[in-house]
Structure formats: structure tokens, C-alpha cells
Amino acid sequence: MSVETTETAPAPKRGMNILFGLTLLGLLLFLWLLLGLATNSFWTPNNISNLLRQGSMTAILAVGQTFVIITAGIDLSVGAVVGFTSVIVAWLLQAGVPLWASIVLTLLIGVAIGAFHGFGIVRMGLPPFIITLATLTSLRGIGLLLTNGSTISINHEGFTDFSRADFLGIPSLFWMVVLVAIPAFVFLHLSRWGRYLFAVGSNSEAARLSGVNVTRTLYLAYILSSTCAAFVGLLLASRIGIGNATQAEGWELQAIASSVIGGTSLFGAVGSVHGPLLGAFILATINNGANLLNVNSFWQRIVTGLLIIVIVYFDQLRRRSSR
């Protein structure tokens, strides 16, 4: 694919990113307004809390995934990493390892998995799709082996209470999104490493000849993605109070969908931090609304699929017209 300009995602004009962010925000607010009119329960503090909690984990995964997609890669393993790290933290806590150490070790496992992906891609020359697909398969197996197919209970009260707690009236899970999003924003949009991610995604040879350490940049992207996934593994373990290797199945696709709905281009070099966040909460709102409206869960799937098509289509349209 060396000579095609037509297929490259046309890049956004000045302010386009922000404008698209606003369009998405508009869509989200519109959905909220609609649900507020259609149900009595949507705008209750309780439900808003629920909504924020429900979107949080996908949002964090989607941010991590976005780093990888910007480099024109993909990380299919994030769901498996979430399940696997939930097992790890449960296992550590059960073994009596102090909370802080369990958390640090779990995150380090995330770093290690990301580094392994980086190694596979950079040193072994494997396509990202394949190496992360392989990890996906193997990690679930290892997690199941560790637990012998069952679950590990977590009896650390402080840990399991965390996901239910509020701070300033906002669920702690949502605060975790903020905790991830702010440094992620600084990193991607304000620091030079963020620029390097875009450059590598656009043309890694040009980036390399410009002195960008392509190897390090790729490692970084995959490590960030896996670490975000490990962090979500911690949150999930806290939320469900157990470690179970089969959890979070298919979350990688949700994360990718959120990211793309948020304007990330799968061809690389186009993306932001706020986009995937909005994408994740749009998907969460659809599910939440469908539950409140008592929509058949099968219809929910159909609608989600259609909505992905519609949103991404309009994103394409907007970009094309702004050329």
C-alpha cells in the first residue's frame, strides 16, 4: 500500500478535531435529552451514577487502544488482559500480598504484556493483529490454568468497596477515567511523544529518518494499551469482587468500536483522547437506555451495530466534505 493517497484518512482541518469532538458531545447530549424525555428514571442521580460507572472501564480501554491504533496497529488482547489481571490481583490478595503491592505487580504484568507485544511487532516482525490475537488466546488459557477454570474470591473489603464508592457525588470509577484521561491528553496532544505516535502511524520510515525512535514509540504504545487494560482489570476485580479469567470477553471489540466512533482512523495517524471517551459513553448510554426502556436485549445488539455504522459514516462524510 505504498502509493495511495486516496485511502489515507483525510486529515482534519484546524479545529476539526475539536469540532468533531463537539459533534459527538452533541450526539451524547441529544441521546441523554431523548432518554430524559422517554423515561422517568434516566435523569435520576442514581442512574447517572450507574451510567458513569458502566462506561468507565470501556472508556479507559478505548484510550489505551487509541494509542495503538494511531500507530496504525491494533490490540486485540485487551479483553483477555483484563480477565487475566483480574485473576492475578485476586490471587495476590488471596496470597496475602499487601494491597499496594498487588496493585503495582498487576500493573507491571500489564507493562510486561505490552512489552511482549512490542517485541513481537518490532523484533519478530509480526503483524499486530496476529501477535495480539495469539496473546488473547494464550492469556485466557494461562488465567484458566491458574484458577483451574474457576474463580478466585477477593476478601479485601477496602478493595471491593472502592468501585462502589463515590467522591464528590461522582462514582470513583469515573474518577479513574479522569485520572487516566488527563495524563493521556497531555501525552498525546501536548508532548512530543504524542507527535511521534502520529508520525509513526503515518509513515514509520519517514519518522525513523527524522530521528524518531520508532522501536521505542511502538513499545510505548503497546505498553500503554496493556497497562490501561491491566488497570481496568483491577477495576473489574474490585467491581465484581472476584478474579476470573473468562471475564471481559469481547471488550477489545467494544474498545475498538468506541475508539473508532470517537474519530480514530484504523489506517493510523488520526485520533484523540476525548474521542474514545465520548465513544465509550455513547455506547454505555445506548445500553443503559435500552435497559431503561425495556428494549429486548436482542434488539439492543441490532441497534448497536447499526449505530456504529451510522456514526462512523457521518464521521467519514464530515471529513470528506471538509477536505
Partner 1 sequence: MSSFEELSHRHDDEARMAEPDSVPRGAPILELRGLQKKYGLVEALKPADVTFLSGEIHAIVGENGAGKSTLIKLLTGVIRRTAGEVLWCGRPVQLATPTEAISRGINAVHQEVVLCPHLSVAANMFLGDEMSRNGLMRQGAMERAAQAVLDDLGFHIPARISLGRLTIGQQQLVATARAAMRGIRFLIFDEPTAYLTRQESAELFRLIRRLREQGVTIVYISHRMEEVFELADRVSVLRDGAHVGTRLIGETSEAELVALMINRSIEQIYHKEKVPLGDVILETRGLSGPGFEDVSLSVRAGEIVGLYGLIGAGRSEFALGLYGRQPLSGGEIYWDGSKVTIGSERAAMDLGIALAPESRRDQGLCLNLPIGLNINLPVFRRLSSGIVIRRSEEAANADRQIRDLRIKTPSRRVLASAMSGGNQQKIVIGKWLSHGARLFVFDEPTVGVDVGTKAEIYRLFGQLLKNGAGIILISSYLPEVYELSDRLHVFRDGRLVASHPFRGASHEDVLTEAIGI
Partner 2 sequence: AQDVTIPIIVKDTTSFYWQIVLAGARQAGKDLGVNVPELGAQSEADINGQISILENAVAGSPAAVVISPTEFKALGKPVDEAAQSVPVIGIDSSADSKAFTSFLTTDNVEGGRIAADGLAAAIKATTGKEEGEIAIITSLPGVGSLDQRREGFLDQVATKYPGLKVIADKYADGQATTGLNIMTDLITANPDLVGVFASNLIMAQGVGQAIAENKLGDKIRVIGFDSDDKTVGFLKEGVLAGLVVQDPYRMGYDGIKTALAVSKGEKVEAFVDTGANLVTQENMADPKIDALLNPKVD
- Would you call 209 exposed, middle or buried from its count of C-beta atoms within 10 A (0-12, 13-18, 19+)? exposed
- For 170, the enclosing helix (H) or strand (E) is strand 170-171
Binding residue for partner 2, selected from 70, 92, 121, 248, defined by CB under 8 A? 248
Chain residues 3-22 in contact with partner 1, contact rule CB under 8 A: 3-6, 8-14
Query: Which of its own copies, partner 2, partner 1, none lies near 209, with the C-beta cut-off 5 to 8 A by kind?
Result: partner 1
**CB–CB of 86/237 below 8 Å?**
yes
Give the nearer residue to its own copies in terms of CB position, either 44 or 316. Answer: 316
- Contact status: 123 vs partner 1 (CB under 8 A): no
Backbone angles phi, psi at 112, to 5 degrees: -65, -40
Out of partner 2, partner 1, its own copies, none, what residue 60 binds, judged by CB under 5 to 8 A for its kind, is: none
Q: What string marks each residue from 189 to 218 as x (binds partner 1 by CB under 8 A) or -? A: -xxx--xx-xx-xxx-xxxxxxxxx-----
Rounded Cα distance between 166 and 176, Å, is 11
Can you tell me the distance from the alpha carbon of 128 to that of 79, in angstroms, rounded to the nearest whole number?
15
- Tell me how far, at minimum, the Cβ of 50 lies from partner 1, in Å: 36
Q: How far is the CB of 75 from partner 1 (least distance, A)?
A: 20
Query: Which x/- pattern over 275-294 shows residues binding its own copies (rule: CB under 8 A)?
Result: --------------------
- State which of residues 6, 46, 294, 321 lies at the interface with its own copies (CB under 8 A): 6
Q: Which positions ≥6 away from 187 have C-beta within 8 Å? A: 193, 194
In terms of phi and psi (left: phi > 0; alpha: psi -120 to 50; beta: otherwise), the region of 149 is left
- 265 counts as binding partner 2 under rule CB under 8 A: no
Q: How far apart are CA 133 and CA 141, in angstroms?
A: 13
Is 298 near partner 2 (CB under 8 A)? yes
Burial classification of residue 133, based on how many CB atoms lie within 10 Å of its CB (0-12 exposed, 13-18 middle, 19 or more buried): middle
Residue 195 and residue 78 in contact, taking contact as beta carbons nearer than 8 Å:
no
CB 286 within 8 A of CB 35: no
The DSSP string of 97-142 is --HHHHHHHHHHHHHHHHHHHHHHHHTS---HHHHHHHHHHHHHHH
SS3 state of residue 242: strand
Question: Which window, 13-21, 104-112, 117-125, 160-168, contacts its own copies (CB under 8 A)?
Answer: 117-125
Residue 247 in the binding site for its own copies (CB under 8 A): no
Contact flag: residue 27 with its own copies (CB under 8 A) = no
Q: To which residue does cell 498525546 refer?
A: 188
Site for partner 2 in 25-64 (CB under 8 A): 39-41, 44, 46-47, 50, 53-54, 57
Sign of CA dihedral 166, 167, 171, 176: negative
Tell me how far, at minimum, the Cβ of 175 lies from partner 1, in Å. Answer: 23
CB of 138 to partner 2, least distance (A): 14
The answer to the question of residue 150 lying near partner 2 (CB under 8 A) is yes
What minimum distance in Å lies between the beta carbon of 43 and its own copies?
28
Amino acid found at 144: L
Binding residues for its own copies, per CB under 8 A?
Answer: 1-8, 72, 74, 120, 124-127, 129-131, 133-142, 144-145, 149, 202-206, 253, 256-257, 260, 265-268, 296, 298-306, 308-309, 312-313, 316-317, 320
Binding residues for partner 1, per CB under 8 A?
Answer: 2-6, 8-14, 186-187, 190-192, 195-196, 198-199, 201-203, 205-213, 267-270, 323
Binding residues for partner 2, per CB under 8 A?
Answer: 39-41, 44, 46-47, 50, 53-54, 57, 144, 147-151, 153-154, 160-161, 164, 236, 239-242, 244-250, 287-288, 291-294, 296-298, 301
